[in-house]
Each structure stands twice: as C-alpha cells, then as structure tokens.
Amino acid sequence: MQNPGMDADVFEQFIEQLDRYVRERLLPAEREIIETDRIPDDILSEMRDMGLFGLTIPEEFGGAGMNVSQYIRTIHTLSYAMPAFRSIISINIGMFTSALKNGGTDAQKAEWLPRVASGEIACFGLTEPGSGSDSAGLQTSAAQTDNGWVLNGTKRYITNSPFAKVGLIMARTSKENLPKNAHVSAFIVPMDAPGVSIGKSDKKMGQAGSHIADIVMDDVRVGGEALLGGELGKGFAYAMMSLDNGRMSVGAAATAYARRALDSAVRYATERKAFGEPIANFQLIQQMLAQSEIDIYAAECMMEDVTRRADAGENVLRKAAAFKVFASEMCGRVVDACVQVYGGAGYLAEYDAERFFRDARIYRIYEGTTQILQLQIAKHMLREFHANG
C-alpha cells in the first residue's frame, strides 16, 4: 500500500508557513552563518519544532509521515535558502530513515525513528578513502563475536558526522566480494560508542554551515541488535534503496537554488545600469535569463513527474538518477549565468553570485556523480533492451 502522506490541506498550510519562514528568517541569517560556518542553535531549535527532522518518518514514530512528493516539495521550498539548512536534516529524513523503514527490525524502528524525528542528527557511512561508488573496494570490516560485532575502518566525506548522534555504517561482513554486494552489511552505530572518533571538519569550496568529516572506527563494539534488519549481506541493498530519495532531494535542492540565483540575477540586471540604461534591456542579458528560466522549468517538471511516479509505486531508479543529473548540471549553468550577469561584481565575495557558484558545484558530485549516474542509466537501458529482445 502506498503512503498517502499528510492531509493535502494541512500540507499546503505547512508549505506556506515554511516558505514564509525561509524568506523572513533563514535568508536574513545567511550572512552570520557564512561568517561563523555554523547554523545558530536557536534556528536549529526552530527547525526541530517545525518537525523538519522527521518529515518522512511515520506518524506513529513522531514524524510527519509525508509521501515522496510532499517530502521533495518541502526540500525544494527549504532549499531556496543556503544549502546548510537542507544538509542538516537531509540524512535524517533521507538515507537513514529510508534504510530503517525498508530494512529495520521493529525494535530498531521503535528505538531510532522517534529519536531522529525529534532532531537527533544522523549520518550515513558508505564512502571511504579508497571507495565511493565502487562497493567492491569497501574496506571497513565487521567481525562477529559471541555477543555482537567489532567494526574497524574509516569513512570519508560523511555529511553531518561532526554533529551526529548515530550513524548507519556500511561494513564488509565477508572477505570475498559476493554477488549483489552481499558482502556488505549495515550497522546502526551510536557515534559516542568507544572507539569511534570524528576527524576535523573538512574545509570546502562552498556550502558554509554544512560539515563533513571522517569517521574512524577502531575496534568499535556493538551488540547483535546493531545489524540492520538482523540480516547479513543486506546493507548495500538497503543503502541503494535509500539513494533514489537522496537523489531526488539533491535534484530538488539544485532546482530551488537555481531559482534563487536567477531571481538574484534578474534583480541585479534591473538595477545595474550601463550605457545609460538597465542591463536587463540588453538582448544578450535577456537570453541568459530566458535560458535559465527554461532550464529551471524543465527541472521542475521532472521533479513533479518522478515524485508522482514514486508515490504510485513505480521503480524510479532511472528517472531519479536522470532528474538528479539534469537538475545538478542545470544549476551549474544557471549559477554560471548569474555570475556573468553580475559581471565583475559576480567575482566578488560581497555579492551573492560568487557564493551561489561555489555552493552549487557539489550537486554534480554527491549522491552519485553525473558520470556514475549516466553509466547507471545506460546500463538499465541496455539491460531492458536485451530483456525485451
């Protein structure tokens, strides 16, 4: 049975409230966050009170119980503001919750879903220094003991790890590479467990206020109940199931941030004068603005279509990947056009265009690079062709 989501009228009221909150509260806070590289505690408390950390978590566990369309539209609304606000809630409502709902035991759901819905921050540990999209190269190991597991290894570029209370950690439970990545299992690991250490937050090109860091595990002991679903060899499958939602989330964020950049470019073009008139009057400026509007509209249509299909129960692996690729590449084009419209001012840190350009670059990389997703889309196309012979 598909999730009907929140009541439609209640959801529309929520979106209206969130949009007002974004424009009246979050946008004015951005300069402080850029200077301090952190979201203020009072804003985090407000986000918790609004239920933003539990959007996709079922109501019986303290969440909002949104369906995919509602969840992604919420992300789209929130992501008009700087990326840090989406980033801080993204793992809770995306990969962590999805994996737990799809593969967790009743006891695991009962323990962890209320905690992350209330705002305890989660992280998701798949990427390692020597492996990202290549699961066969995963080195973190989980060795079984009489009463649980011992984990050793390092995870890299882990979003929210400096703040996280819990991590969903992918670890090798077989030395051999097995079909369908059955050598990888998933473990729910409290980040305060003995042997867990978090590296220093990495300095990044953009996305001020969001943090990534290494997670190092040195003989970390967890009980048998830490194995997600109580089953060996299912970890990678659960991770992959959760990636569709993650990719739609990044696509929605890129689409919203492109709109933010275009709004900024239009405003600047009407205010900036050259040769005695606003540069918005010049046709080549208009061409950049118009092409950006066309690109954003196409991404918005893809977002609406793929989320509707997901709620209808379709397999959207290919379409979610396509949306993420198009939206992230599109956002790159739009922020580049924004810098160009700003001209010399677009290269200065005191103007927003420079920040938009840096912030948007990661969208083409995380949750599957453009190139990896193109390969995945092509692989599924060719498999379908051969199957239909």
Catalytic residue numbers, as ranges: 367
DSSP-assigned states of every residue in 143-210: EEETTEEEEEEEEEEEETTTT-SEEEEEEES-SS--GGGTTEEEEEEETTSTTEEE-PPPP-SS-TT-
Q: How far apart are CA 329 and CA 324, in angstroms?
A: 8
Q: How far apart are CA 64 and CA 89, in angstroms?
A: 14
Q: How far apart are CA 329 and CA 331, in angstroms?
A: 5
| C-alpha distances out from residue 58 to 2, 4, 62, Å | 13, 11, 7
Buried b (16+ CB within 10 A) or exposed e, 109-146: bebbbbbbbbbbbbbbbbbbeebbeebeebebbbeeee
Q: How far apart are CA 291 and CA 283, in angstroms?
A: 12
Q: How far apart are CA 126 and CA 170, in angstroms?
A: 5
Tell me, rounded to whole angstroms, the distance of Cα 95 from its chain centroid: 8
Asked whether the beta carbons of 250 and 324 are under 8 A apart, the reply is: yes
The pair of three-digit structure tokens given for residue 204, joined into one six-digit string: 């990044």
Asked whether the beta carbons of 264 and 338 are under 8 A apart, the reply is: yes
The helix/strand/coil state of 279 is helix
- 219 sits in which H/E element: strand 212-223
Q: How far apart are CA 79 and CA 287, in angstroms?
A: 25
| Pairing, β 141-145 against β 212-223 | unpaired
Q: How far apart are CA 269 and CA 47, in angstroms?
A: 34
Cα-based angle 264, 270, 276 (whole degrees, multiple of 5): 145
The helix/strand/coil state of 213 is strand
